Amino acid sequence: MEHPITISHYTPLPDGEHSPSLTTTNTAEQSSRRRSLTFVLLFSSILAACLVMGTMVLFPNSGNEAVEKSTVVPEETVEVAPRGVAEGVSMKSFRRPALNAEPPANFPWNSNVLSWQRSSFHFQPNQNWMNDPNGPLFYKGWYHLFYQYNPDGAIWGNKIVWGHAVSSDLIHWKHLPVAMVTDHWYDVNGVWTGSATILPDGQIVMLYTGSTNESVQVQNLAYPADPSDPLLIEWVKYPGNPVLVPPPGIDFKDFRDPTTAWRTPEGKWRLIIGSKLNKTGISLVYDTVDFKNFTLLDGVLHAVHGTGMWECVDFYPVSKFGENGLDTSFDGVGVKHVMKASLDDDRNDYYAIGTYDPVSGKWVPDNPELDVGIGLRYDYGIYYASKTFYDSNKKRRVLWSWIKETDSEISDVRKGWASVQGIPRTILFDPKTGSNLLQWPVEEVNKLRLNKTVFENVEINTGAVLPLEIGSGSQLDITAEFEVDKESLERVQETNEVYDCKNNGGSSGRGALGPFGLLILADKDLSEQTPVYFYIAKGSGGNLRTFFCADHSRSSKAVDVDKEIYGSVVPVLRGEKLTMRILVDHSIVESFSQGGRTCITSRVYPTKAIYNNAKVFLFNNATEARIIASLNIWQMNTAQRQTHFADLVI
């Protein structure tokens, strides 16, 4: 039986200073903080040793040994331990479903195919491993993105640092030196995820999770060494770190990822940190006036039973009526608040819309059936560890997210890199449904559009597959509208059909009103194809339920890549056409339906449908519906990625 969620009051760590300024403290104060961790570290060292021993028993071959073997013989079947779990974070390696209880053999990739997989307009470092976006902000004319980075290779490691890049438009990026490294006892095992808060006087406060020398998760404070530097090259870590340690009742590896702080009615700053109690995901709430001394509020901001560890939590307001984003501290009439958590158990990002009480420090979902972790997701594909920030430059809320690889580590090592960031998305409340968010690529991505091909009122009969002559299909921006003729909708009998994208045969599973849509990254013979499509189910009373799906089951001849079918229901209101937008950028595809009500991010690794052999087709696999489609398809330019920061013009 699970225990009730109760957390005793937490006394702030002694500091001796309570000024809101970001001045430093002396060595004696730091020693006092370190002594306060003794009871945690003694216990953690014993548990960490047990975890390491258990990992050695379960996985006798280390990840490095596996990579070394497979680099020599790519076809050899090798299974590695899940990276990150023993260290206290979500699994960082993609584990393919076993075939006949054995992992599939690795495909013999060649350098030409692997080179094609690198993105052209999504953000990624020049080489090596990347995961969570950290501390995004707009400062003195520059957008800043920090990110989890392994400078030593293309796999996740236990010395993760903060990579850093800047942009004037969120599309063209300039790589800067690493911002923070593992150089103190409180973050020697990893400078992990964190968030930025910009104070009213312009100061930047950066709180991040560090993994200590005993693998305890603690929260640390950092700030720019030179606030006048718009590039924020140098960072200083507060000598009194850590400023927060796991409170009583919280496991030392279940306390991470502080959010951006927001103002309370009393003038304090408030933030949340992800955790769990037994199998209940929770968000701990802290108040502070100086970001050095914190008070843990009684209870939690929110908790959902059965959702497991909440990491990379996020909390922000949205306007019910306005078209602009809101500053994180904004509250008032016509405002809802979004609670988001990345679930360690299934590695998906869930959100819910609800009402926040700033006095009690509690948040309640509008619809308990769509609560965090059991309801809506930002994205129904490969999309995790997301983080938003308020862009004061354009008055919008912008969403970043880590898009992991779903091929083998062996391939990643050969490529020399792993992971990309999703195209930044704006977030708005959907006033038409009143129950979900709208996510859409930032407008700046449109600047990459080149020549456009238009297809108007293309008729697609049942069972038809129509090629679209557009040249190469490797870098595209596609917008499409689909209409089902009214006679088909009226003629089709009502059924009690229970449909979901994954378990109904994907794009091959034929129904009266679907599937229909686009085949992207397809070769001319359709031996490789990735369908992105709609499926309409007609229920009792003539009610129509529409699904938006992406089928990867035939996306590649390779056997060592993800071939799942992703998707979910998408709200379609009376009188609306079915719409989708697809950004194709080599091995990453982002699909948006109905203005961003439902989104799917795909990683696709074709062996034949690459370069000029990547084609696009319309298809209609419905048995009784005639479809009319209209499309605009743009070839996309390549974004600039400057690597020599000394050449930047400020």
Strands 142-150 vs 161-167: parallel, antiparallel or unpaired = antiparallel
Phi then psi for residue 33, to 5 deg, are -65, -40
**Residues annotated catalytic, as ranges:** 132
> How would residue 571 be classed by pLDDT, with cut points 50, 70 and 90?
very high
> How would residue 106 be classed by pLDDT, with cut points 50, 70 and 90?
confident
- Summarised one tens digit per residue, pLDDT across range 383-423 is 999 999 999 999 999 999 999 999 999 999 999 999 999 99
Q: Which residues pair with 467 in a beta bridge?
A: 617
- Summarised one tens digit per residue, pLDDT across range 8-62 is 333 333 333 333 344 333 434 444 444 444 444 444 444 344 433 443 333 333 3
Average pLDDT along the chain: 87
Class of domain 449-636: mainly beta
Whether the pLDDT of residue 638 is over 70: the answer is yes
- Give the model's pLDDT for residue 600: 98
Percent of the chain predicted with pLDDT > 70 = 84
Tokens found for residue 430: 């959907």
What average pLDDT does the segment 175-190 reach? 97
- Give the model's pLDDT for residue 542: 83
- Give the model's pLDDT for residue 11: 32
Instruction: List the single range of 52-56, 98-102, 242-246, 399-403 with lowest mean pLDDT.
Output: 52-56
Instruction: List the single range of 20-24, 60-64, 329-333, 498-502 with lowest mean pLDDT.
Output: 60-64
Measured distance CA(217)–CA(532) in Å, rounded: 40
Cα distance from N-terminal residue to C-terminal residue, the chain:
60
Percent of the chain predicted with pLDDT > 90 = 77
Whether the pLDDT of residue 206 is over 60: the answer is yes
Whether the pLDDT of residue 6 is over 90: the answer is no
Looking at the structure, give the CATH architecture of the domain made up of residues 111-443: 5 Propeller (2.115)
- Summarised one tens digit per residue, pLDDT across range 443-453 is 999 999 999 99
Whether the pLDDT of residue 582 is over 80: the answer is yes
- What single string gives the DSSP state of each residue in 268-325? -EEEEEEEEETTEEEEEEEEESSSSSEEEPSS-SEEETT---EEEEEEEEEESS-SS-
- Give the model's pLDDT for residue 644: 58
Tokens found for residue 454: 């238009």
What average pLDDT does the segment 148-175 reach? 95
What average pLDDT does the segment 135-156 reach? 97
Going by C-alpha positions, the residue among 489, 459, 531, 506 that lies closest to residue 625 is: 489
Amino acid at 415: K
Whether the pLDDT of residue 7 is over 60: the answer is no
Higher pLDDT pick, 101 / 225 = 225
pTM assigned to the model: 0.87
Higher pLDDT pick, 643 / 171 = 171
The separation between CA 400 and the C-alpha centre of its own chain, rounded to angstroms, equals: 7
Whether the pLDDT of residue 96 is over 60: the answer is no
What average pLDDT does the segment 300-325 reach? 97
Measured distance CA(378)–CA(307) in Å, rounded: 16
Whether the pLDDT of residue 79 is over 80: the answer is no
Q: Which residues pair with 102 in a beta bridge?
A: 99
Higher pLDDT pick, 134 / 31 = 134
Q: Name residues whose C-beta falls within 8 Å of residue 195's C-beta, 6 or more positions apart in sequence.
A: 134, 135, 206, 207, 208, 257, 258, 259, 260, 271, 387
Measured distance CA(295)–CA(144) in Å, rounded: 30
- Give the model's pLDDT for residue 157: 86
Q: Which residue has the tokens 């903060």?
A: 162
Q: Name residues whose C-beta falls within 8 Å of residue 270's C-beta, 6 or more positions apart in sequence.
A: 261, 262, 263, 264, 285, 286, 287, 288, 361
Whether the pLDDT of residue 167 is over 60: the answer is yes
Measured distance CA(140)–CA(204) in Å, rounded: 12
Whether the pLDDT of residue 504 is over 60: the answer is yes
- Give the model's pLDDT for residue 607: 98
For the chain, the domains span 111-443, 449-636
- Give the model's pLDDT for residue 9: 35
Measured distance CA(313)–CA(272) in Å, rounded: 7
Whether the pLDDT of residue 218 is over 60: the answer is yes
- Give the model's pLDDT for residue 65: 31
